[in-house]
Amino acid sequence: MPVPEGFEPLDIAARLGRDAADFLTHSGPIYVREDADMPQLGFEVLPHMCNPAGVCHGGMMMTVLDTGLAFILHAALKQRVFSPSISFNFDFLAPAQTGQWLETSGTCTKYTKRTGFVSGALLGPDGPVVQASGIFRITERTAADISANIA
């Protein structure tokens, strides 16, 4: 399946100024389409992302949606800061099959100085496969700060 227009490979390590692979690198490939209002992550469901029943593993979908909603929070904040998730609720709505393209969609409903509230979905060709709402801790740590603390 060709990657949809505008999506490019996501390299979190490079964004942090690192050359070591991270969790998303091992899970993917995952792609990003940058948009100031609502950046999106997307991926093609590949066999290594599937559970024993042959559909996309829930953990894979939760990982991408968690990261994608953090990107949406960063767009709302107009800056990239370290924002670990505090709480998440996921609802699985439909299976995602091998070969399907899935991508994130969402909105930042509110943020304060220290907390961000984001909701969204992972969309497949027939509509949402997972919906979620998450709460993120907003820190003052930037990518440069994180990179400096990782040996």
> Is residue 88 in a domain?
yes
pTM listed for this prediction: 0.85
> Is residue 2 in a domain?
no
> Is residue 26 in a domain?
yes
> Is residue 3 in a domain?
no
Interatomic CA distance for residues 28 and 64, integer angstroms: 9
Q: What's the CATH number where 36 sits? A: 3.10.129.10
> Is residue 68 in a domain?
yes
Which domain does 86 fall in, by range? Answer: 8-149
Contact of 22 with 62, CB cutoff 8 Å:
no
pLDDT score for 1:
72
Closest of 58, 8, 48, 1 to residue 26, by C-alpha: 48
For the chain, how long is the longest CA-to-CA vector? 43
The residue behind tokens 């801790």 is 137
Nearby residues of 117 by Cβ (< 8 Å), 6 or more positions away: 108, 109, 110, 111, 133, 134, 135, 136
> Is residue 104 in a domain?
yes
Tell me how many domains the chain contains. 1
> Is residue 106 in a domain?
yes
pLDDT (tens digit, 9 = 90+) per residue, 42-82?
999 999 999 999 999 999 999 999 999 999 998 998 888 88
Interatomic CA distance for residues 86 and 115, integer angstroms: 9
Length of the chain, in residues: 151
Bridge-based pairing of strands 31-33 and 40-44 is: antiparallel
3-12, 37-46, 67-76, 112-121, range with the lowest pLDDT? 3-12
> Is residue 98 in a domain?
yes
Residue 96 Ramachandran class (φ > 0 left, ψ -120 to 50 alpha, else beta): beta
Average pLDDT along the chain: 86
pLDDT score for 14:
63
